[in-house]
Every structure is written in structure tokens, then in C-alpha cells.
Amino acid sequence: MSIAERIHEILLAKADAIVHRAAGRLGDLIHPDFVYVNAAGRTFDKAGYIETYCTSGKIAFEAQRFSNLSVQVSPGVAEATFVSHDSFVVDGRTIAATYQSLCVFVEGPNGWQWIAGQTRTAG
């Protein structure tokens, strides 16, 4: 399996974990030094990301699909850009939105892990 295929698998596993609120599975995919900036400009560390998008119930994902995935690989690092098509519930309202995302992955003793990301509204 190529690194690009492995990164695609990790992104699919991440989407599945947030839809099913599987905090343990999500945690396994994220590097301890993780930093993420969402489309609203809020910054999260690993614990904050898992809480907000998986365990708190503040945001309940119904689906997350990807298109236009491009993965660039350097030794020990992979950068993925893609369009994310999300459906989630916030404050009882279902929101369908499209985002442009960048996710950075590093290869370490636990395999490839998501270490950084940023998302912005597409358009």
C-alpha cells in the first residue's frame, strides 16, 4: 500500500470515528503534539479536538465525505489537501457544509498519525 493510500485510509477512519463518536479510535489516529484550526478560527489540541468533535455532543457528525484528495509525501511527512463534505448537528440544527482542508501527517513508532490541520469554508 502506498503512503497516499494509507493517508486516505486514516482520513476515512477519522471520519468514521467522529460520526460514531469513537474517542479511542480517534485518539489513536492523532499525534500527541496535534494542533488544528477549524473554519471558525478556533485552535484545538488533541484532547480539545476529541472532546469537541467526538465526546461532548456539542457537534454531532452525521457524515463526512472527501473529494479532490491530493497527498504530497516527503520523508516522514505527508500533506493531504481535500474538500470535505460535512453534515452535522449543532444546537439541534442540521448543517451541510463544504470545507477546504489541509491535514499534515507524520510517520513515527505508532505508524502515520495526524499532527496538524486547518480547515476553511470552501468557495
Q: Do 105 and 32 contact (CB within 8 A), yes or no? A: no
- State which CATH number among 3.20.20.140, 3.10.450.50, 3.30.565.10, 3.40.50.720 fits the domain covering 3-121: 3.10.450.50
Edge-to-edge strands, sheet with 30-37: 43-44, 30-37, 111-121, 93-108, 77-90, 59-74
Q: The pTM is what?
A: 0.94
Give the separation between CA 42 and CA 6, rounded to whole angstroms. 28
Q: Where are the domains of the chain?
A: 3-121
Tell me the per-residue pLDDT of 73-109, one tens digit each, with 9 for 90 and over.
999 999 999 999 999 999 999 999 999 999 999 999 8
Tell me the per-residue pLDDT of 19-40, one tens digit each, with 9 for 90 and over.
999 999 999 999 999 999 999 9
